[in-house]
């Protein structure tokens, strides 16, 4: 079994461009790059204190939606207050999974879901929460030695599909998929994937590309890009 390696800097709770990527191998699952740097927008509103779900989300009314300048006709929902994600689903491919909050290990590297829970995905706690302004990151295994895992069907998701994230405050953040890309480990576009955003963005990452049998790892990553488009 290949060992997961996440060398490089710790996750940083800071505004600014990301400076690295997830790297290593989850048994047969790899993340590309040399380090992870997660950036997000200011949490001024969220830090002011919790609000009721009704007050913070209102619904997908006209005043809650706006067009993002410079992006092709993309209607986005205003960011939500911070709230821990507990489950996510992608109905178009029949994917539903609980979310485990992932922190840092003793070496200062991001944790990843345990092999003993192949159907559980993880949310990186040092990224924003899904629905909050900035870039939230979910990760998971595509397979293990025992068979397919939670992200097995991720590559089958198509632009326009919905991703639903159930949050602890009772709301469900609904994201619309913009695109899926497969990136090689070398030259992984960290700033593009992890960079800050004034809108609520979501990235879902698993392994992809070819498989190197000698090294027992995938050669790249599949990255799903999505934006907040509604709330229930």
> Strand pairing of 162-167 and 147-148?
unpaired
Give the Cα separation of 192 and 21 in Å (integer).
Answer: 11
113-126 mean pLDDT:
91
Residues of the chain with pLDDT > 90, as a percent, come to 48
Give me the residue spans of the domains in the chain. 24-40+62-231
Residue 53's H or E segment, with its range, is: helix 53-57
pTM for this entry = 0.74
Position 17 scores a pLDDT of 26
CA atoms within 13 A on the CB side of 172: 10
Give the Cα separation of 182 and 199 in Å (integer).
Answer: 23
Q: In 3D, which of 151, 181, 202 has the Cα closest to residue 26?
A: 151
pLDDT tens for 7-62 read 222 333 322 223 333 433 443 333 433 334 454 433 322 222 222 333 333 334 44
Write b or e for each residue in 185-222: b if 16 or more Cβ atoms lie within 10 A of its Cβ, otherwise e. beebebeebbbbbebbbbbbbbbbbeeeeeeebbbbbb
Position 39 scores a pLDDT of 44
* Mean of all residue pLDDT scores within the chain: 75
Position 232 scores a pLDDT of 95
CA atoms within 13 A on the CB side of 206: 26
Give the Cα separation of 164 and 30 in Å (integer).
Answer: 25
- CATH code for the part of the protein at 24-40+62-231: 2.40.260.10
List of residues 6+ apart from 85 with CB closer than 8 A: 99, 123, 129, 130, 136, 138, 165, 166, 167, 168, 173
98-123 mean pLDDT:
87
pLDDT tens for 58-95 read 334 444 655 544 455 678 899 999 999 999 999 999 99
List of residues 6+ apart from 55 with CB closer than 8 A: none
Angle CA 145–136–227, to nearest 5? 110
Residue 128 or 107, more confident = 128
């Amino acid at each position: 079994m290949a060992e997961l390696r996440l060398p490089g800097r710790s996750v940083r709770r800071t505004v600014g461009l990301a400076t690295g990527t997830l790297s290593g191998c989850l048994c047969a699952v790899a993340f590309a790059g040399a380090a992870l740097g997660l950036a997000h927008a200011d949490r001024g509103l969220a830090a002011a204190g919790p609000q009721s779900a009704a007050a913070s989300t209102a619904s997908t009314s006209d005043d809650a939606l706006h067009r993002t300048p410079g992006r092709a006709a993309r209607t986005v929902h205003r960011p939500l207050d911070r709230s821990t994600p507990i489950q996510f689903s992608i109905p178009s491919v029949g994917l539903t999974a609980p979310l485990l909050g992932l922190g840092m290990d003793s070496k200062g590297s991001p944790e990843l879901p345990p092999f003993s829970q192949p159907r559980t995905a993880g949310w990186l706690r040092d990224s924003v929460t899904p629905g909050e302004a900035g870039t939230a990151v979910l990760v998971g295994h595509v397979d293990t030695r025992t068979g397919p895992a939670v992200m097995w069907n991720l590559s089958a998701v198509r632009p326009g599909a919905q991703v639903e994230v159930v949050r602890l405050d009772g709301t469900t953040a609904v994201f619309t998929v913009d695109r899926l890309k497969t990136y090689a480990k070398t030259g992984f576009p960290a700033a593009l994937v992890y960079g800050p955003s004034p809108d609520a963005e979501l990235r879902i990452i698993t392994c992809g590309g070819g498989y190197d049998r000698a090294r027992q790892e995938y050669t790249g990553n599949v990255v799903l890009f999505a934006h907040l488009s509604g709330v229930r």
